Structure formats: C-alpha cells, structure tokens
Structure 1
C-alpha cells in the first residue's frame, strides 16, 4: 500500500460525506503532511470493501444458534408472538441508531476503536477501554468455542470431553486471523454468511408453514407477561448481543457513506435478531418443547433433517466466523498497547481462551451468556457513546475542536487522563450495571434497560463538560489576544 493511498482516508475526516476524487486530489498534499507518520494506521479508500461484503460479514456477527434458542426461552417465559415481534423490531431500531454512527466513526476516520480512544480518553483511559474490550471478547470467544464443542458432542459420539474439544476449537478458530481482515471477511463472504442465510431462510419459512397449520388445531400462546417486562428482557438481550461497540474496527474497511452502512446493518439485524428469534418462538409453539437440550435436538431434526454433517457445517460456520471477528478486534486492541507480532497475539490469545473454555466446561458459567451480553452492551458501547459525543463537537463547533480528528499520537505523548471522558465513562458504566439487574443486592434499582441507561448517562455528562471545556479555552484565547493587543 503506497503512502499516497494510505493517507486518502484521512481526508474523509474533513467532510461528513464521502469525499470525491477531486476533493481527494485537492487535499492530497495536506493529508500527506499531516498524517505521514501515521499513514499505516489508516485504511486507504481504494482498499475499502463493498457494502455487500460488509453486510455478509455483519450477518455472521449478529446471527447465532443461541439467538434461535432465546426465542424458545421467550416462549417458555410466556411472551406472546406480538410481544416478541414488536420488541425485537424496537430493539433492532435502537441498535441501528447506535451502530450506524459508531460504524461511521470507522469509515470517516479510517482508524481503529483503540486509536480513536487515545485522543479522547488519554493514556490510561485508552488502556482501560482497550482492556475492557479484550476481557469481554475473551469471554465471548471462549464461550463460542465451548458452544461449538457442545454442538459436536450432541451431533456425534466423540471420545473426548467437551472441555478438551473446546480447547482444541479455540486454536482452530484462530487460523483465519493469520491473514488479517481479508481472511476474516472472505470466510464470512464466501462460506459462513451464505450458509447462515440459507439456514435461517429455510427454517423460518418451514416454521411459518408449520405454525399456520398448528394454529388451526391447537390454542395459541396466551401471554401472562406485561409489555414492560417483555421489552426489558428482549431488548436487553438483543442490544447486548448485537451491539459490539467497536464497530469502527470493522467498518474502517468499508466505503464512506451512511447508506452504505445503514442498509447492510439493517439487513443483518433483520436476519439475526428479528427473523431467527421469532423462528425459535414458533418452533417452541409447534413442538411444545421448552427445554434447551430438547429444543436443540428438535432444531437439528427440523432444520437439517437429522443430517449431522450438514448441521455441523452450518453451525460450525457461524461459530468460526464470530470467533474470527472477535479475534480480529483483539489483535487490533493489542497492537494499540504493545508492539508485538500478529501471530504471537493470535496464538497467545487462543491459548488463554483454550484454558478459559476448558474451565467453563466444568464451572457451569457457560449459562452466564446473558450476563456477558449485558456487560458487553454496557462497557464497550459506553466508551463509543463518548466518542460519538466528541464527534458531534465537530458538527456543533468545528472539526478543529473535536479530538476525534486529532493527529494520532503515541501513548507517551498523551496526557495521563482526560477527566471529562473518564468521569462520564465511570459514572455511565456504574449506572448501567446498577440498573441492569446483574447484582442481586441492587435489584431494587433494576429500572429500564441497563445499557441504554449507561449510554444516556455518559452522554449527558460528557457533552456539556466538553462544550464547557471548549468555551473556557475560547475565553482564554480571547483574553490572550486582548492582552497581546494591549501590549502592542
């Protein structure tokens, strides 16, 4: 990649719209001068991926076998089909309202989530947000390996324990990342996403036909749950499961433009977080099976006709693709903290995840996926909310006042902490965790949707604090100018 190519993405930060070729050429010399030392951190415009490729990748990131099983769980909990439909649609809209701007941070700047955090949070703040990402994603990666091992154990008679198989899958799932983002997106585009689309489509339409037939001979589910309870449970899962928070890591490889981001994200969410959970609910209504293990066996027969190899290919494609995206973000995060070779990060992370997956197979903590999803919806996206607030300063004042577009600095050049960001992050996460119902002693504070409470709190604290900070800087500059004028 030439220096001229790599700096072109920087010019996108000077405009909210996708830059034209004329604009790129007009600003080329300035971009080279300002970003020459950091050009390697920015994805060139001509190397960006087509929206179709990004959409297929995102389908693999929000569509998972647990999302169909959660539909079974919602049926078991007494949620009606109208409640499931309305609440998943509402949740998907909320996710879009967050993910589209979050993804635009990547397409406009070309920078990673970790690099964006540097200028906004300071040296130790950036390290904290990076650590949060690594810790949450480690749990998700290990859980995915454990789910894959559990699926193999259920489909075949394997003379290995689930823990040993999970450890083995932790290593197998890391291999695509040795080829960087190309390995991740190509596996999703050419294999995993087509498998998932075919699986979801076939299962959904078969479930619709069977549901309509069953509706004439059996009573439909009568809800005994209020809409408030249904919305809280469904939205917490959908938002926590499908919001990654570090969308910039992936969408910096996409072409700029709101439509090029919004359309792929919308399609992916419709498939993974609306159609698939509804399919699970209808399957539970048809079969009257609400036990997770029995529901898994029934889905194998219902979707794959009992052909174990076919089930393994489709389910394996999903788990491997999700692990690819997970590990890719972790590699980017590690490179923000340390100068280390990619293969060392890949295999070292896989080794740690293998140990965690093996431990999870005995600890019973595999059932805590909802806790992991809830924390994922709070810790990482709250930091992204602060980044989005900082980006809004570019629109409210000017680009030169927004730290999002600051020249990328090395860690030792940054201030230790940026207090507005750290204060908003700490209070926002605290409010989100306290109101999410994760801590039994704070159950009386369980109110609304924890992740939304966290995001709103962080935004309400950070944006006024930053605007006040900019106003104080402006007043100070004006005083200095007045003093200079008086002295002259």
Structure 2
C-alpha cells in the first residue's frame, strides 16, 4: 500500500469509521482480508486476560489439563455464538449499536448502547489495574490505582484513528510478539515441570466447579459486539471460522497454559500476579525487566483497543448524530468513563470474576435476539425487518417490546444463575448458565413475536420505524 493511500485510509478512519447513521454501513469495497483479521482477533481473543485466567485456574486447584479443557470448551461455546454474530455485522456493514436502532427501537438501542459502554469499561478497568500491578511487580512502583487511571486515559490514543488504528497496531506489533513469547514460555515449562506436577491439581477445586470455570472462560473471551469488527469482513457465514478457531486456540489454550505455568513455577499466591509475572520475566525473557514491561504494555494496550472501540461505537450511536459532533469527542468522553471505572475497580470484590460473568450474558443475549430477528423470524413467521438505510433517532421505532423483554428476562436468569444479584447469598446449580441465558433470550423472543405477529399493530409493538413500518428489507443485505 502506498504512503498516499495509507494516509487516505487513516484520514477516513479518523473522520467517521462508519459509526454513525450519517456515515452509513461499511461498503463491500472496503472489506479487509482474512490475514488482517487473524492478527486482529489473535490480539482481541488473547493477552494477559487469559494468562490471568490460567493463573486463577491454578489457584482454584485445576490441573493443567483441566485448565486447558475449561478454556477450550469456553472457546468452543464462544465460536458457536460468534459465527452468527459476526455474520450479522458482515451482511449489514453496521456496528452493533447502530443495528439496535432498527431492531430494538429507541429505548432498546439506548439500553444496549449503555451495556456496550459499561461492559467494555469494566474490562478496561480490569486490564489497566492489572498492568499497573505488573509494573509494581517488576519495579515496585506502588501507586497502582493512580498509575492505572493514567493508563486508562492514555489508552484511548489508538482509537483516535478508528478501526485502522487498532488493526494496524494488532497486525504489525502485538500478535507476533505475544505468540512467540508465550509459546516459548509454555515449551520451556513443559520441559521444566515434572509430569506428575503437570497432571495434578494444586488443591481443592470445590469452590470453582468445572462448568463454572468454563463459564468464566466464555466471559473472558466474550466481546458481544462482534458486528463492530466483522462488518469489515466478507459477508459469508463460515468466512470468520478459521480466524476465530486460531485466535481462541492462542488465547484459551496457549495463554491459559502459560498462566497456569506462571502460577506453578513462581509459587505465587492468589493475589500475587505481579510477583508471578516478575518471576516469569526472569524465567522466559532472560531477566530483562524493561522487556517484560514493554510486552505487558503492548498486550494490555492492544486488547483495550478493542474495549475502547466497543465503548466508542456505543457512544457514537447515542451522540454521533449531533450537529458538529466529532468522533474524537466521543473518544475523550469514553476515556473519562474508563478512568472512573478504573479508579473504582479495586473496591470491587472478585472484580475479574464479576466482569467476566456479566460479560458472558449482558451483550450476547441482546446479540442473540438480533440474530433471531434477522435470520430466523423471516423463516418462522415471515417478518423481515429492514435495517437499511440506518434510521435516525427520530425515524427509529419507540421500542421492540418483545426483544427488550427477552433480553431483560435472560439477563435476570443469567445474573441469578451466576450469583450476581444484589443480596444473593447462594448460587443455584444450573449447568452452563451463559449458554442457557443466550438460548432463553432467543426462545422467548421467537415465541413472543410468533404471538404478536397475529395482531394488526404488530409492526408498532415490534419497534419498526416510521419509514419501514409494513415494509420488507430486500435491498439492505450485503450478500454479494
């Protein structure tokens, strides 16, 4: 690519990144190659989150095989969810948040946009607190909260350049570095750790049953806003599959194994991830603390590019249409939101587990409802909802009440099943709760729509906008 074309692409990303109704959907001519997505999704589906997950599995008493098994099953569940979610983005070219205007209406779109911002801000807070903890482990700097807040503000930089900025950093810098390093760590660990230790757990696993561990893996890898990135992909259902499988193998197998080995080799306690990382740097990066800091910074910043991108697209849906509003204004607002969440995060008990559990249900339930609306309802009840052109806030329907009810019921079920409700003292044994919540959202929505489709005011109750009420979407699909 020439310098002039690179500058033009970067300028376009800064301008709008196709994140507002005025900018519209990503044209087919601007879709990216599969290699582009391999690097990006290896970064977004891997990183220190999964080293930390492996570390937590070890502290819960899991063996290496049990840890990798929980991670792999969580990755499999994620891929089964992510394929239709990605197809939703690639066939429409729209962000997750913009799609909610057509599918959920004004009220539902505002609700889902707030979920997008809140979940991603929670992950940003966890990641930058973790990075500050790693700095403290390497250099004994202290001031973990202050450093993490400063990092959260500075971490927005790549997103000023839109999708182009986050993809370039992932493709050319982060993905190669992290794979080589963790692969070396795991190979050296397999050689160094006795086989009887590798096959044995480190203690009692009763506190974290296996299915709970799988659910935490799902939440750790879950984005929920897959249309945001895959709208730049080819509009074919199975096209993302090789990329997703490779990325999940790196994150939920290789990195989980690496995190387990960090805990085993260092002998660090449950709250000593920073000390474990320092030992790991001495073990696998030749004791070069500065190199360990660079690797940690690159990995955390890269995965938070995805979190900020999620937050910004949610914010753009809410405010991007305002006269004179610029995308970088949204970036600054989201940096401030992330800073507040990052400051607050250390006060949350078991913050990593709570963020992972909410992540496993909050956005996926909404995305499942949208997939049912787009791909199943036309076959089940003959209702085809237009999503193109993207409606303005004025033209969007008030609310898709069945969709909102389905999401809220599924969220309440998931929160209860995961023990997240305020004041809840016990957690029921319900199996793999995140997957059950997704299915519940889809089934409730399909049943409610099948009933409502029979009444004269069906399009109003289903949140069809003023322009699209009673029409069918025959031109909005980008399936060529």
The answer to whether 1:84 aligns with 2:64 is: no
Say if 1:107 and 1:252, in contact at 8 Å, map to a contact too.
yes
* 1:268-303: CA deviation from partner (whole Å, max 9, x where unpaired): 000001121123324444554444424233222223
- Structure with larger Rg: 1
Shift of 1:351: 2.5
Write the distance in 1 (CA, Å) between the matches of 2:123 and 2:349: 10
State which of 324, 335, 348 in structure 2 corresponds to 1:350. Answer: 335
1:177 aligns with 2:159: yes
Say whether the 8 Å CA contact 2:361–2:437 is kept in structure 1: yes
Asked if residue 401 in structure 1 is aligned to residue 383 in structure 2, the reply is: yes
CA distance in 2, matches of 1:228, 1:265: 31
What is the match of residue 279 of structure 1?
Answer: 258
- Tell me which residue corresponds to 1:18: none
Unaligned runs of 5+ in 1: 1-36, 477-488
Q: Please state whether the residue corresponding to 1:139 is helix, strand or coil.
A: helix
Cα deviation digits, residues 173-204 of structure 1 (max 9, x gap): 11111111101100111111111111221112
Q: Which residue of 1 aligns with 2:401?
A: 419
- Whether the 8 Å CA contact 1:88–1:273 is kept in 2: the answer is yes
Deviations 1:413-464, CA, capped at 9 Å, x for gaps: 2232211101101101000000012246252534223322221211110112
| 1:74 paired residue number | 57
Give CA-to-partner distance per residue, 1:325-345, whole Å, 9 cap, x none: 111122211121112311111
Q: Contact 1:436 / 1:449 at 8 angstroms: preserved in 2?
A: no
User: Within 1, Cα distance between the matches of 2:386 and 2:355?
Assistant: 29
Rounded Cα–Cα distance in structure 1 between residues aligned with 2:209 and 2:177: 31
- What residue number does 1:124 align with? 107
Corresponding residue for residue 294 of structure 2: 313
Query: 1:367-378 to 2 correspondence within 5 Å?
Result: 367-378=350-361
2:439 paired residue among 452, 456, 462: 456
Alignment match, 2:195: 215
- CA distance change for structure 1 residues 424 and 359 in 2, over 3 Å: closer, same or farther? closer
Q: Which protein has the bigger helix share?
A: 1
Q: Check if 1:257 corresponds to 2:242.
A: no
TM normalised by structure 1 equals 0.82
- Structure 1 window deviating more from structure 2 (414-423 vs 104-113): it is 414-423
Residues in 2 aligned to 1:397 and 1:457: alpha-carbon distance in whole angstroms: 17
**2:475 aligns to what?**
none
Q: Distance in 1 between matches of 2:85 and 2:406?
A: 18
1:186 and 2:165 aligned? no
- The CA distance in 1 between the partners of 2:176 and 2:458, in whole Å, is 57
Q: State the distance in 2 between where 1:241 and 1:284 align.
A: 19
> 1:404, 1:154 → 2: CA distance?
53
Answering whether residue 449 of structure 2 is matched by residue 466 of structure 1, we say yes
The partner residue of 2:186 within 188, 192, 204 is: 204
**Matching residue within 303, 310, 319 for 1:322:** 303
Aligned-partner SS, 1:403: coil
Give the secondary-structure state (helix, strand or coil) at the position aligned to 1:445.
Answer: coil
From the superposition, tell whether residues 394 and 416 of structure 1 become closer, same or farther in structure 2 (CA, over 3 Å).
Answer: closer
5 Å-filtered alignment, 1:134-145, equals 134-145=117-128
Distance of 1:444 and 1:151 partners within structure 2: 32
Establish whether residue 104 from structure 1 lines up as the match of residue 84 from structure 2: no
Q: Is the 8 A contact 1:334 1:345 kept in 2?
A: yes
Deviations 1:104-137 (A, max 9, x none): 1111110110111112211111101111111121
Higher relative contact order (CA 8 A, sep 6+): 2
- CA drift at 1:239: 0.5
Out of 217, 223, 226, the residue aligned to residue 244 of structure 1 is 223
